[in-house]
Amino acid sequence: MIDGLLIAAAAVKATQLYIYATPIARSAVEAAVAERRDARRIVVVEAPETFISGEASAVVNSIANGIALPQDKVQRLSDSGLKGRPTLVLNVETLAHTALIARFGADWFRAAGSERDPGTRLVSISGRGHREVLEVAGDARLPDVLADAGVELKGLAAVLVGGYHGRWVRPLDYRLSPVGTATHAVRPGAGVLHLLDSAECGLAATAEIVNYLAGESAKQCGPCMFGLPAMARTFSALAYGDQDPRLPQELQRLASLVVGRGACHHPDGTVQLIASALETFKDDVAAHLGGACTRSLGRP
């Protein structure tokens, strides 16, 4: 990752280099940087353990001002970022791939994956007792990835792909590829695969996530500050016993007021999660509105 950062810095003639690391990783990162004479320009900055602290403009704001909140303005960081200068923000995995491609070549990288999604990516698997990270080929089939992780597909109700701003999928015959859903692929996003057991209620699980996301708002713009709590309340009502048939339509109405209007992607990502839940768990929606639940847990 340090190699990749130095390569990127040389490519864009960067004068200031930073690594943004969580508290648990900071000491190890600082030790790795200190071992190398060519990395002395790199400054390690501690990242708060909050959901939005990793948003690109929040990273820049944290480095500049110590406040890990997205910048409430519509401006590309490549035009005006840290101290008003053009700024490039890359994630750790991208930097690591950059270094490996520089070392072994593009043909080596393309030996894995497919033509439309070459190389490899890291995926984190959680839920149903699993907690691990795998390196998988690009364009990999989701069932194959889960099988490699030792996940028993029987009794698996759905998978949340891409983390809390991701998408629930069911059935599981998708490929993990950034080309998206048009070709029966799902964007891996943050690379998180969360497993939902068939005994769990997908609506209850989603309600818990949406409530968390609403609480993680930067509270800098109306769509996020007011829209997400309203969506969380409405989704919780649907998940936990309110049989008002207008609830799904109300969620769609709120989504139309929120999406595309925030200072960052947080509202849009939350809307994407809710939309995927309403589609993937549509049978559960009908059951809940009828006063029942199709799962043994999360029963209204």
CATH of the domain at 229: 1.20.1440.230
Is 114 a domain residue?
A: no
Inform me whether the pLDDT recorded for 300 exceeds 80: no
Are 186 and 218 part of one and the same domain? no
Is 204 a domain residue?
A: no
Are 6 and 97 part of one and the same domain? yes
Is 113 a domain residue?
A: no
Instruction: Domain of residue 160: give its range.
Output: 120-197
Q: What is the predicted pLDDT for the residue at 293?
A: 85
Give the distance, in angstroms, between the CA of residue 141 and the centroid of all CA atoms in the same chain: 19
Distance in angstroms (rounded) separating the CA atoms of residues 261 and 164: 19
Is 46 a domain residue?
A: yes
Inform me whether the pLDDT recorded for 297 exceeds 50: no
> Cβ–Cβ contacts within 10 Å for residue 165, how many?
19
Are 99 and 126 part of one and the same domain? no
Sign of the alpha-carbon torsion through 4, 113, 134, 183: positive
Q: What CATH number corresponds to the domain at position 166?
A: 3.10.20.600
Are 10 and 100 part of one and the same domain? yes
Local structure of residue 37 (DSSP, 8 states): G
Are 69 and 48 part of one and the same domain? yes
Is 115 a domain residue?
A: no
Are 228 and 193 part of one and the same domain? no
* Domain end position, chosen among 197, 218, 242: 197
pLDDT in tens, 121-134: 999 999 998 999 99
Q: What is the predicted pLDDT for the residue at 73?
A: 62
Question: Based on the structure, what is the number of domains in the chain?
Answer: 3
Is 102 a domain residue?
A: yes
Q: What is the predicted pLDDT for the residue at 299?
A: 40
Are 98 and 155 part of one and the same domain? no
Q: Which one has a higher pLDDT value, 300 or 259?
A: 259
Q: What CATH number corresponds to the domain at position 67?
A: 3.40.50.11540
Q: What is the predicted pLDDT for the residue at 74?
A: 63
pLDDT in tens, 187-243: 999 999 999 999 999 999 999 999 999 999 888 888 889 999 999 999 999 999 899
Mean pLDDT of the chain, nearest integer: 92
Q: What is the predicted pLDDT for the residue at 222?
A: 86
Is 229 a domain residue?
A: yes
Distance in angstroms (rounded) separating the CA atoms of residues 268 and 47: 23
Local structure of residue 45 (DSSP, 8 states): E
* Domain end position, chosen among 176, 197, 218: 197
Element (H or E) spanning 63, and its range? helix 56-65
pLDDT in tens, 19-65: 999 999 999 999 999 999 999 999 999 999 999 999 999 999 999 99
Q: How far apart are the first and last CA of the chain?
A: 47
Are 44 and 9 part of one and the same domain? yes
Give the CA radius of gyration of the chain. 21
